[in-house]
């Protein structure tokens, strides 16, 4: 990837942030007044002036050129869920044949990529198929380095000329403003005068698989869809639980070392790494940042993981479910609300006052998750994630909230006006004003909960490993902003703030405690309990996404200025189309792999088996078990061919739904997926029955136990 560093000789301090146009770099390179003005722009208290942009652009260009960059790019996040970039060089030719290297303020602030080919869900008529990218001053520019090819990469928002959001960043930024506004009102009402800005912090834990690239190259399904559409589990799966937190193998260690250095160079705070539950599955976590920055850096991190893996003859699989039968990959989204006066509003404090504030924010999140659980669920709805959520894997598709026993008990006592019995047997009055320091000693973790309180943050565990963090955090922010707006209004109008706070805590908890579940989310009876509690169970992407523009949500997003009705509708269309598109590819791959590879391979084996049996019989031998095997092979070949034919027919029939994104996606989910499963069952059985050397692509055993 980048110029070779000898990692054994290079200290982390030497490289950390060297390719990041960080705050420290800006402070050093910008004139004081420009730096301060830019800070004010970042804080949202000032508009960016062309003069400031001009100076920053120049400093950024010099800095990037010193690092060997020849090009710059406005980097953005269209609704494909990926990132997009178009590179421009800094050169500006002169009449005498020489060039100047230039980068203007205007080029920094705004770009005009030819955006007509990005999905827009009907937002822009083709005659004005133009969008522009706008510099996001709040997220640092970096120099991306691909084997020495260096590009100044500027995070931008992608907007249509009429101002509509065409990307994932704009709504996220809007949602951050919404929560800033409402949370500020709340803490002002609580008497805080020092805080001027509130933001949501996000720390992602990213899971991924690594496999040897020689196997990857032989699997068209992995190359084209990111997951194996066929494959039988090897004799060993994850039953032994011997991979989780196991010793990191040398080859992986070397990969992780380079990965860390590459991330550190970009100023990305790679912190934790370990083996995950499934064989060849790993996790990396970066330290939390504001939601916007974490979203950007996580996109970069996914790119870097993929690139660095290749240097080690590996391929990183970020798909939610590359392999059936072992755990899928998620991206735990650790989320909290921070203030610029140094508080974590979801952290229990040391004093009674802090704890009242904590309980108010905590119960507000409880209410938000209960009221807008569907939005959270649908923010993690993708075809890849359907193999995790609702498919006997943690977390389940039902949104619930894990509080832990201590907090549940405290809130129960408050709700029922009971004193709390502490572990030492002492009674503690929970009059709120005298609320004691919480005995937060039980950090009992519940790994099966989709939304767990983990001490001073919530961990949203539904997010898929390949997903952008933008949508889940947008939903979370808006849901909580809406509840905080109600809280603020009530506190602003209250005669006695503290009494009202108590009312709110009690009321929110009592009315929304159905969302709290501290038990095992895997347990089958949980689904029944959830259903009795009236909690929605949206088991698949299509049904989840169908709610995106429900009237109540359209109103909610409109109120907080996060999505217009048109933006919301276009997103629903695009996400549904993406779902259908993915399934179309997977079904096509199955047809191709079954018809032209797997079934012919099984037939070759059957033919050889039959000639062996013939030879045996001519010697007077009577093959019995072999006959059964041959018959079995034959039956599965026939059944696979039948399923193949049905699958091909569904792929013709689906064309009738074209033009209606929801109907089409429903067809894929309801009609295509079940036939895919039938075909898979026969092809996988054939793989089990066929001698290995006949099989046309690498097995699970090859891919999962070779590193």
Chain contacts with Mg ion (rule: CB under 5 A): 332
Minimum Å gap between C-beta 5 and Mg ion is 30
Task: Show the binding pattern over residues 315-354: x = contacts ligand ADP (CB under 6 A), - = does not.
Answer: -------------------xxx-------x----------
Of 139-147, 196-204, 376-384, 463-471, the window that binds ligand ADP (rule: CB under 6 A) is 196-204
> With binding defined as CB under 6 A, does residue 290 bind ligand ADP?
no
Contacts 24+ apart (CB under 8 A), 187-195: 187/339, 187/345, 187/357, 189/488, 189/491, 189/492, 189/497, 190/357, 190/360, 190/491, 190/497, 190/501, 191/497, 192/339, 192/341, 194/341, 195/339, 195/340, 195/341, 195/343
Helix axes 625-653, 599-618, angle to 10 degrees: 160
Paired with 20 in beta bridges are 142
> With binding defined as CB under 6 A, does residue 207 bind ligand ADP?
no
Minimum Å gap between C-beta 344 and ligand ADP is 5
Task: Report the SS3 class of residue 431.
Answer: coil
Nearer Cβ to ligand ADP (49/456): 456
Helix axes 470-493, 169-189, angle to 10 degrees: 20
Nearer Cβ to ligand ADP (114/442): 442
Nearer Cβ to ligand ADP (165/284): 284
**Contact with ligand ADP (CB under 6 A): which of 119, 121, 203, 396?**
203
Of 137-145, 169-177, 198-206, 229-237, the window that binds ligand ADP (rule: CB under 6 A) is 198-206
Nearer Cβ to Mg ion (358/458): 458
Contacts 24+ apart (CB under 8 A), 410-417: 410/359, 410/438, 411/359, 411/363, 411/505, 411/509, 411/513, 414/359, 414/505, 414/506, 414/509, 415/506, 415/509, 415/510, 415/513
Tell me if 400 sits within 8 A of 517, measured CB to CB.
yes
> With binding defined as CB under 6 A, does residue 457 bind ligand ADP?
yes
Of these partners, ligand ADP, Mg ion, none, which one is at the site of residue 582 (CB under 5 to 8 Å by kind)? none
> With binding defined as CB under 6 A, does residue 456 bind ligand ADP?
yes
**Two tokens at 202?**
């996000």
Contacts of 168 (CB under 8 A, 6+ apart): 77, 78, 79, 81, 295, 468, 470, 471, 474
In order of 136, 179, 330, the CA distances from 173 in angstroms are 10, 10, 23
Of these partners, ligand ADP, Mg ion, none, which one is at the site of residue 628 (CB under 5 to 8 Å by kind)? none
> With binding defined as CB under 6 A, does residue 571 bind ligand ADP?
no
Nearer Cβ to ligand ADP (90/451): 451
Minimum Å gap between C-beta 287 and ligand ADP is 4
> With binding defined as CB under 6 A, does residue 287 bind ligand ADP?
yes
Paired with 426 in beta bridges are none
Nearer Cβ to ligand ADP (119/204): 204
Q: Whose CB is nearest to Mg ion?
A: 332
Minimum Å gap between C-beta 314 and ligand ADP is 24
Minimum Å gap between C-beta 116 and ligand ADP is 38
Read out DSSP for 496-520? SHHHHHHHHHHHHHHHHGGGB--S-
- In the region spanning residues 26 to 45, those forming contacts with ligand ADP, defined by CB under 6 A, are none
In order of 150, 304, 581, 646, the CA distances from 87 in angstroms are 11, 18, 28, 46
Nearer Cβ to Mg ion (332/502): 332
Minimum Å gap between C-beta 330 and Mg ion is 10
Tell me if 472 sits within 8 A of 396, measured CB to CB.
no
Of these partners, Mg ion, ligand ADP, none, which one is at the site of residue 258 (CB under 5 to 8 Å by kind)? none
Of these partners, ligand ADP, Mg ion, none, which one is at the site of residue 288 (CB under 5 to 8 Å by kind)? ligand ADP
In order of 178, 183, 551, 564, 651, the CA distances from 558 in angstroms are 11, 18, 10, 6, 38
Minimum Å gap between C-beta 57 and ligand ADP is 32
Per-residue burial over 136-173, b = 16 or more CB atoms within 10 Å of its CB, e = otherwise: bbbbbbbbbbeeeebbbbbbbbbbbeeebbbbbbbbbb
Nearer Cβ to ligand ADP (272/531): 272
Of these partners, Mg ion, ligand ADP, none, which one is at the site of residue 272 (CB under 5 to 8 Å by kind)? ligand ADP
Neighbours of 481 (CB within 10 A): 26
Distance CA 228, CA 233 (A): 11
> With binding defined as CB under 6 A, does residue 205 bind ligand ADP?
yes
Minimum Å gap between C-beta 171 and ligand ADP is 20
Where in 497-635 does DSSP place strands (E)?
Answer: none
Distance CA 349, CA 199 (A): 19
Of these partners, Mg ion, ligand ADP, none, which one is at the site of residue 571 (CB under 5 to 8 Å by kind)? none
Q: Are strands 87-89 and 71-75 parallel, antiparallel or unpaired?
A: antiparallel
Task: Report the SS3 class of residue 135.
Answer: strand
Nearer Cβ to Mg ion (331/377): 331
Minimum Å gap between C-beta 337 and ligand ADP is 8
Tell me if 462 sits within 8 A of 330, measured CB to CB.
yes
Nearer Cβ to ligand ADP (159/318): 318
> With binding defined as CB under 6 A, does residue 499 bind ligand ADP?
no
- In the region spanning residues 507 to 536, those forming contacts with ligand ADP, defined by CB under 6 A, are none
Tell me if 361 sits within 8 A of 348, measured CB to CB.
no
Nearer Cβ to ligand ADP (151/467): 467
Minimum Å gap between C-beta 690 and ligand ADP is 42
Task: Show the binding pattern over residues 267-286: x = contacts ligand ADP (CB under 6 A), - = does not.
Answer: -----x------------xx
181, with CB counted inside 10 A (0-12, 13-18, 19+), is middle
- In the region spanning residues 375 to 394, those forming contacts with ligand ADP, defined by CB under 6 A, are none
Of these partners, ligand ADP, Mg ion, none, which one is at the site of residue 287 (CB under 5 to 8 Å by kind)? ligand ADP
Nearer Cβ to ligand ADP (206/578): 206
Neighbours of 425 (CB within 10 A): 6
Nearer Cβ to ligand ADP (77/339): 339
> With binding defined as CB under 6 A, does residue 133 bind ligand ADP?
no
Q: How many CA atoms lie within 13 A of 389 on its CB side?
A: 34
Tell me if 172 sits within 8 A of 292, measured CB to CB.
yes
Of these partners, ligand ADP, Mg ion, none, which one is at the site of residue 73 (CB under 5 to 8 Å by kind)? none
Of 140-148, 195-203, 579-587, 678-686, the window that binds ligand ADP (rule: CB under 6 A) is 195-203
Tell me if 702 sits within 8 A of 579, measured CB to CB.
no
Neighbours of 40 (CB within 10 A): 14
Q: Whose CB is nearest to ligand ADP?
A: 203
Nearer Cβ to ligand ADP (446/650): 446
Minimum Å gap between C-beta 339 and ligand ADP is 12
Distance CA 222, CA 320 (A): 12
* Selection from 413, 411, 305, 433 nearest residue 359 by Cα: 411
**Contact with ligand ADP (CB under 6 A): which of 77, 201, 466, 539?**
201
Contact residues for ligand ADP (CB under 6 A)? Answer: 201-203, 205, 272, 285-288, 334-336, 344, 456-457
């Amino acid at each position: 990837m980048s110029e070779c560093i000898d990692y054994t000789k290079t200290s982390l301090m030497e490289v950390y942030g060297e390719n990041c146009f960080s705050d420290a770099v800006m402070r050093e390179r910008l004139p004081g007044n420009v730096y301060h003005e830019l800070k004010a722009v970042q804080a949202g208290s000032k508009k960016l002036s062309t003069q400031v942009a001009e100076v920053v652009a120049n400093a950024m260009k010099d800095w990037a050129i010193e690092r060997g960059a020849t090009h710059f790019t406005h980097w953005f996040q269209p609704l494909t869920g990926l990132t997009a970039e178009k590179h421009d060089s800094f050169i500006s030719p002169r009449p005498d044949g020489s060039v100047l290297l230039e980068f203007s303020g205007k080029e920094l602030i705004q770009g005009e990529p030819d955006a007509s080919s990005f999905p827009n869900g009907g937002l822009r008529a083709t005659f004005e198929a133009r969008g522009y990218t706008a510099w996001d001053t709040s997220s640092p520019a970096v120099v991306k380095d691909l084997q020495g090819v260096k590009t100044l990469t500027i995070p931008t928002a992608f907007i249509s000329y009429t101002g509509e959001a065409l990307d994932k960043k704009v709504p996220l930024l809007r949602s951050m403003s919404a929560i800033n506004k409402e949370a500020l009102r709340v803490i002002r009402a609580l008497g805080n005068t020092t805080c001027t800005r509130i933001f949501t912090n996000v720390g992602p834990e990213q899971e991924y698989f690594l496999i040897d690239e020689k196997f990857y190259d032989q699997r068209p399904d992995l190359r084209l869809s990111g997951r194996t559409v066929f494959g039988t589990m090897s004799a060993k799966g994850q039953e032994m639980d011997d991979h989780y937190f196991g010793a990191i193998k040398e080859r992986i260690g070397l990969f992780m070392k380079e990965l860390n250095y590459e991330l550190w160079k970009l100023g990305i705070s790679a912190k934790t790494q370990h083996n995950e539950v499934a064989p060849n599955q790993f996790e990396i976590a970066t330290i939390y940042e504001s939601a916007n920055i974490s979203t950007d850096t996580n996109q970069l991190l996914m790119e870097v993981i993929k690139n660095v893996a290749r240097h080690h003859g590996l391929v990183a699989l970020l798909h939610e479910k590359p392999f059936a039968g072992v755990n899928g990959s998620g991206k735990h989204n650790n989320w909290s609300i921070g203030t610029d006066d140094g508080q974590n509003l979801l952290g229990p404090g040391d004093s009674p006052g802090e704890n009242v504030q904590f309980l108010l924010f905590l119960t507000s999140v409880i209410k938000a998750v209960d009221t807008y659980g569907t939005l959270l669920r649908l923010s993690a709805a993708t075809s890849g994630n359907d193999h995790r959520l609702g498919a006997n894997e943690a977390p389940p598709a039902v949104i619930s909230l894990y509080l832990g026993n201590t907090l549940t008990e405290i809130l129960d006592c408050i709700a029922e006006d009971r004193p709390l019995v502490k572990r030492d047997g002492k009674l503690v009055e929970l009059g709120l004003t005298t609320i004691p320091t919480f005995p937060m000693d039980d950090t009992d973790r519940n790994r099966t909960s989709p939304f767990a309180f983990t001490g001073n943050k919530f961990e949203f565990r539904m997010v898929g490993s390949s997903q952008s963090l933008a949508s889940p955090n947008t939903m979370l922010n808006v849901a909580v902003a809406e509840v905080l707006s109600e809280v603020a209004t009530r506190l602003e109008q209250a005669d006695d703030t503290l009494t009202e706070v108590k009312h709110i805590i009690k009321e929110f908890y009592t009315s929304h405690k159905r969302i709290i579940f501290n038990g095992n989310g895997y347990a089958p009876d949980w689904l029944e309990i959830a259903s009795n509690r009236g909690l929605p169970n949206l088991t698949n992407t299509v049904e989840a996404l169908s709610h995106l523009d429900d009237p109540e949500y359209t109103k909610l997003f409109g109120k907080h200025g996060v999505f217009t009705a048109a933006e919301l509708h276009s997103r629903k269309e695009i996400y549904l189309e993406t779902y259908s598109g993915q399934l179309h590819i997977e079904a096509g791959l199955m047809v191709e792999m079954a018809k032209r590879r797997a079934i012919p391979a099984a037939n070759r084996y059957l033919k050889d088996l039959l000639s062996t049996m013939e030879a045996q019989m001519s010697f007077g031998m009577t093959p019995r078990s072999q006959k059964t095997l041959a018959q079995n092979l034959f039956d599965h070949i026939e059944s696979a061919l039948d399923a193949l034919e049905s699958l091909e027919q569904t792929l013709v029939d689906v064309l009738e739904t074209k033009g209606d994104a929801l109907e089409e996606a429903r067809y894929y989910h309801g009609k295509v997926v079940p036939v895919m499963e039938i075909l898979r069952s026969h092809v996988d059985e054939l793989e089990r029955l066929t001698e290995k050397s006949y099989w046309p692509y690498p097995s699970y055993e090859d891919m999962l136990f070779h590193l």
